[in-house]
Structure 1
Amino acid sequence: MNIYVSNLSFAVQDEDLRGFFEEYGEVSSAKVIMDKFTNRSRGFGFVEMPSNESAQKAIKELDGATVDGRAIRVNEAKPREDRPKKSFSNSGSNRW
């Protein structure tokens, strides 16, 4: 199961995130999302756990837990929706 974790301290790294969840079962991956321009944490991440039972227990027990002085939010990740492609053409728009 893919788990979304938000309101993370900017000091939390991948290994820390993995450690929070390993107490509840096997963790396939743990990734804090980084800003591509500043290379700083964006304050959220994703954890993948192969056992749905372990993942549900982790979600239940970690949602609202205080980590580094912040109450984290933990939910099952929703599938990413397709975003419309941005068009950089000037068709139909004469702004000059």
Structure 2
Amino acid sequence: MYLDYFTDCLSFRTTEESLRKAFENFGQLVEVNLVMDKIANRPRGFAFIRYVTEEESQKAIEGMHGKFLDGRVIFVEVAKSQSELRQSFKQNRRQY
């Protein structure tokens, strides 16, 4: 089983190739998916990255979280499922 890792706050200049080059230092990449805005034809500011092992993924989080990539500070964390995101959203709404 592979875990997806979520990278946020990406520059509009970021490409799948620049992500691959930045993250391949931490292990064998299975997939790099830069999410694109189809209308504007540019990155939406986040991507999903998948490694062969969880250990490699953890190295990437430790090595890249809070670092600069293409002129922006990025945030790297374990991707959450849709149901986890909905649950978190509901909990946050109740706090207000």
TM-score (norm 2): 0.80
Find the counterpart in structure 2 of residue 58 from structure 1: 60
Q: Which residue of the other structure, out of 55, 71, 74, is the alignment partner of 1:72? A: 74
Once superposed, what is the RMSD of the aligned Cα atoms? 1.5
Find the counterpart in structure 1 of residue 26 from structure 2: 24
Find the counterpart in structure 1 of residue 91 from structure 2: none
Q: Report which of the two has the higher share of strand.
A: 2
Please tell me the residue identity of whatever aligns with 1:26: Q
Stretches of 4+ moved more than 4 A in 1?
none
TM-score (norm 1): 0.80
Give 5+ residue unaligned stretches, structure 2: 87-96
Q: Report which of the two has the higher share of helix.
A: 2
Larger-gyration structure (1/2): 1
Check whether the contact 1:17–1:31 (CA below 8 A) recurs between aligned residues.
Answer: no
Find the counterpart in structure 1 of residue 45 from structure 2: 43
